[in-house]
Structures are given as structure tokens and as C-alpha cells.
Amino acid sequence: MPLSSLIRYLTKPHTYIHVDTRSVSLSASLGYAKSLLLFYLFAPVRLPPMLNQVSRISDIQLPSSVSTLYIDGSFLPPSSHPTPSMAYAWTAIDSDGFILESHYNTIPSLFPSALRSEIFALLHGLDSLPRYSKITVATDCAQLISLWTTYVDAPFIPKMLKEFNHLLWSSARAIISHKNLEVTLIKVPAHADDSLNNHVDDLAKAAHTDSCLSFISPAFLAPCILQFNSLPGDMNIRKFIGDIFDAKSLLTLALLPRFNLNSSFSDIDWACTKFCFNNKQLQSSHRNGRSEFCAFRIKILLDMLLTLTTFQKQKPHIYDPSWLYPQCNSSPETLDHLWTCPYILPEFSPFNTFKTLLLDLKTVCLGKFLSATPLKSLPDYFAVKFMAMDCWDCNPPSNSCLRFARGLIPMSLTSFLGTYFSSSTICSIFDTPLHEFHFDLYVQIWLCRSVFFHHWELAQGITNKMKSSAIGLSPIIRPFSNVSPYSLTPSLATASLDFWVSWVSSYIIHGGSWISHLDFWHRLTVQPLLRISFW
């Protein structure tokens, strides 16, 4: 926000900052920022003189005889094009029906969509008009007309800021106000063989292959612009900021040492894992109706179950560090040992139960994939290769298998499936079977183990009062831990702290959700920047 010379600006209560034509950063509450924003948006007629200095969106000046604009946009999604591509076109018609001028071009792929290309066609056409024009805009996009009626051809409402492309809509309002335009939108049937509509449609499609064109960087005329990494956030601001925090939180989770001791965190498909652990409908409607199961799922993911090994680390004055798992008396009771314990009686071992449940999970998932609609025909060897994946190998259990039991879906599995199925299909298929698999682990292994462990504690004279006592070594002191101190810092942590910037930036440029752009091997050198700028 431009700060005038020699003006006092209120920051905190009874505190002022004196500005002397130098750049100053001011901190303000969210309420103050909101009131300032609404002041600028509710007062479009009080646009500052700086508007005349802002570079125009269009460098074309149409004559005053123009009466009709035919507009159209064209969008090529990533599925049909190496990268998303957006283009637009418009044709200006005079009152006698003659074509005055036609124009087409491509635009940068920011939040790519067909609607965005349509809006930009309208915006560029309006900026090419002379002042005080009375114009009719013909389009075959019904959604464009509907949003125009709501957000442009009406008084400003804050709801517009929750829309995608609100910066384009704000720019359209600014152009109409600045040029005193009178604009009417009419619907042209998409397949009515209208020659002018067909003409502008062909122009928009031709822009994708015209190598002589150059990208236009939109010069937004909106009074408030949110930027991330120098990219405009042209979407619901509240959701956008939420996505930023979600991306940072997921990266923080992925960098935890517990996920990186035996292999790289890039071996995990975090997008699919997050999807399967984020199904609130399954969590709230599960048949057991108890919150303990939801806690169980999170604890096995984070390796936080209260096993004997955990108690030995936290309270070595109660639990002798030399004690082994009482059910087998052969190994320490770690999380992985819960599923691989041979038990005293092999036919009742948790390991046999685990293998049976894992086989059921593999069978159910394979059946769902075979019955799903693939992106391309499945080869004859699909079922054989699916069942041979390392994550199903439990004789003995592979590292990938043990991580899968915790809910960490291996990247090797989803990469193989991604050749034939979309990401949404893969996630939705794994979601419910994995949830049921964890419930069976909870009921058939963990609850049974908890009952046995409780009676074993009583036999050792360990009471709840003793366990709740704070006497003993601090949990931080773990002299018998087998974890090397050098492994507490993941090897890729330093090189990966800015991955969340890459994810958010990629979804601005290429579209989709930020989580569909997880790339643990790409490093941005640009520092993240989140800035709100006002005129």
C-alpha cells in the first residue's frame, strides 16, 4: 500500500509509525486488514490516479463504431496436452455486421480451466474498447453469463472473493468503471452453426499451435492481490491459505525421523496415504462406534503405540530394559513385532493372523481394480504383477510390507497402478479396504494383546499408580536405545524444506490440487513469498 510522505500510521494501540517516503512494513490484525480491503472494494469509483499508470491488459484500441464482441476461450487439459494450455479470441463487429478486427492469443497457465480462458477473452476485449462504449458481448458459455450477472453487473459482494478467478472479475469491474462502459452479455447457442461464433472458436483453437504468439502476463486491475512465490492467488483466499498450511504440515510429517530410518520418505505415496487417513465419513460411521480405533490408526502410523519397548524407554525404573515380549519371550515388543510375533503356540500367533488379513486385503484390492474402469486395457499379467509387489511379501515381512501395515502406501505400488488407473481411482479403492484391515488388526491382534499384557503387568506387580508416578528417569534419557543419534535427522531434510513451495506453486501453474504435485526430488531456489499488496 503506498504510504504518503509525513503521515502517521496506527499500528498497535497508542503506537504510531512515522513514514518518510521509505518502504515500511506494517503489521495489522486480520480484522483491520479485512476492513481496509472492504473499504477499497466497496469504493470502486474512488480509484486512485495510479490506475492510469498501470499497464493495460490489451494494446489494441478499437474504433468507436464497434457494437458487438464475439468471444471464446479454448482450454487443453494435461490429459490431451503435455502441459495445460489456455487461449482466447474475440472478434469486433460494427453495427452493419462487418468485422472490424479479430484477435487471438495464449495466456499463462495459472489455475488453468476452460472458464478462465473465457473470462480472459472477455477481459481483453473490454480493455480494447474506447471509453463510453455501449457494447453487446456474444458468448456460448452460460456459466460466464451467470457469474457476470452475479459479480460484475451488480453491486460488489464479498462472496466474489471466494470464487476462482476473482482477480479477473475485479479487473473487469475496474475496466468498466474506469471506461464507463455499458455492457450486455447474450448467449449464443454452442452448436447453432453461427458463422461468427464458429469463426472466433476456430481462432481460439488456432492460438494453441501458433508459434509466433507470445504469452501475455495478465496485469490485474484488482484492488487487492494475494501473491505466493510471485504468483497471484486467484482463488478462495481462505482455502488458499489453508492449502499452504496443509502442504507445510504434510512436509513436516514426512520429514519425521520415524519415516526415514530404514528408507527414504520419497518411497511413500503421501498423497494416497493422506487420502486414506483423511476419510472423516469412515471414521465417524465405523461399526465399532469408539474413538479408540481412530487413535489406534494414528498411533500405528506414527509408531506411538504403547508397546513394552515404549514403556521401557519411558519408565525404565518399572519396566526392566532386559525384558522381552512375554508372549514369545524371544524379541523386544516393537510395533513391527506385534504383527510378526511367532507366539508360544504357533497356530495362535499374531503372525498367522497378520498374514491372513494381509492376504484378504490383497484379494479385495485386486478384485476392485479388476472391476474398475481403467485408463487403458489391463494386460494379462496385471494380476500376477500386482500380487508380486514387495508390499505383499510377508515371508518374512519386507520393510515395504511392514510400512504398508502402518498405512504408509508404497510409491512402487501406486506407480505401477498409475499406468492403468487415475490417482482418484487408486485412492478411493485403497481407502475402505485399508480401513477395514486396520480395524481387524485392532480387534484381532491389538485388543487381545492388550488384555494379555494387562494380566502380565499384574503378575509383575505393576499397578496403574506406579505407571502414573513421575519418579524415574526422564523420558528424554534413553540409554538403551538402538537408534543411532545420527539417524534422528533425515538425510533429505535439509534439501527438502522448501518442497511445500514447489507443491503450491505447481498447483497454481498446472491446476488440480496441491497434493497432486508432490515431488520430493525437485528443489526450488526461490524463497517463498506470501504478500498482500494494495493500490
Residue 265 vs residue 483, higher pLDDT: 265
CB 113 within 8 A of CB 75: yes
Looking at 128-232, list the stretches that DSSP marks H as alpha helix, in order from N- to C-terminal side: 142-151, 166-179, 195-206
What is the structure's pLDDT at 483? 36
Mean pLDDT of 492-519: 71
Neighbour count for residue 136 (Cβ, 10 Å): 15
pLDDT in tens, 103-154: 999 988 888 889 999 999 999 999 999 999 999 999 999 999 999 999 888 8
Q: Domain locations in the chain?
A: 66-232, 266-460
* Confidence band for 400, pLDDT divided at 50, 70 and 90: confident
Most confident of the following: 235-239, 278-282, 320-324:
320-324
Dump pLDDT digits (tens) for 11-35: 455 555 554 444 455 555 566 566 6
Cα three-residue angle 152-156-159, rounded to 5 degrees: 95
Cβ distance 375 to 421 under 8 Å? yes
- Residues 509 and 451: their CA atoms lie apart, in Å, by 54
- Which amino acid, 458? L
Q: Where are the beta strands (DSSP E) in 126-263?
A: 134-139, 182-187, 224-228, 231-232
Render 258-288 in DSSP notation, one character per residue. Answer: GGTSSS-GGGB-HHHHHHHH--HHHHHH-TT
State how far the Cα of 512 lies from the Cα of 164, in Å rounded to an integer: 13
Sign of CA dihedral 297, 298, 299, 300: positive
Lowest mean pLDDT among 41-55, 115-129, 213-227: 41-55
- Measured over the CA atoms of residue 179, residue 184, residue 189 and residue 195, the dihedral's sign is negative
Give the pLDDT confidence score for residue 470 in this predicted structure. 58
d(CA 309, CA 312): 5
Residue 398 is placed in which grid cell? 519386507
The yes-or-no verdict on residue 487 having pLDDT over 60 is no
Q: Are 109 and 509 in contact (CB under 8 A)?
A: yes
Contact 301, 406 (CB under 8 A): yes
Where is pLDDT greater, at 476 or 384?
384
Q: Could you give the angle at the alpha carbon of 50 between the alpha carbons of 49 and 55, nearest 5°?
A: 130
pLDDT tens track for 251-275? 777 777 666 555 555 688 888 888 8
Pairing of β 530-534 and β 231-232: unpaired
DSSP lists the bridge partners of residue 93 as: 68, 99
Q: C-alpha cell of 489?
A: 535427522
Pairing of strands 530-534, 66-76: unpaired
* Residue appearing with cell numbers 472478434: 91
* Fold of the CATH domain 66-232: Nucleotidyltransferase; domain 5 (3.30.420)
- Cis? peptide before 84, omega within 30° of 0: no
What's the confidence (pLDDT) of residue 49? 42
3-class SS of residue 534:
strand
For 18, 24, 38, 345, the CA distances from 534, given in Å and listed in that order, are 19, 14, 12, 73
Grid cell, residue 347, equals 497356530
pLDDT at residue 332 greater than cutoff 70? yes
Q: What is the pTM of this model?
A: 0.60
Query: Cell triple for residue 4?
Result: 504518503
**Residue 317 CB neighbours (<10 A):** 10
Q: How far apart are CA 179 and CA 131, in angstroms?
A: 5
- The gap from C-alpha 138 to its chain's centroid, in whole angstroms, comes to 36
Q: Which of 305, 268, 309 is nearest to 399 (CA)?
A: 268
Lowest mean pLDDT among 130-134, 251-255, 384-388, 490-494: 490-494
| pLDDT tens sequence across 163-192 | 889 889 988 998 998 899 999 999 998 777
Count CB-CB contacts under 10 A for residue 220: 18
Burial of 112 from C-beta contacts in 10 A (0-12 / 13-18 / 19+): buried
- Going by DSSP bridges, is the β-strand pair 530-534/224-228 parallel, antiparallel, or unpaired? antiparallel
How many Cα neighbours within 13 Å face the side chain of 171? 24
**What is the rounded average pLDDT for all residues in the chain?**
77
What does each C-alpha distance from 125 to 56, 60, 323 come to in angstroms?
12, 9, 78
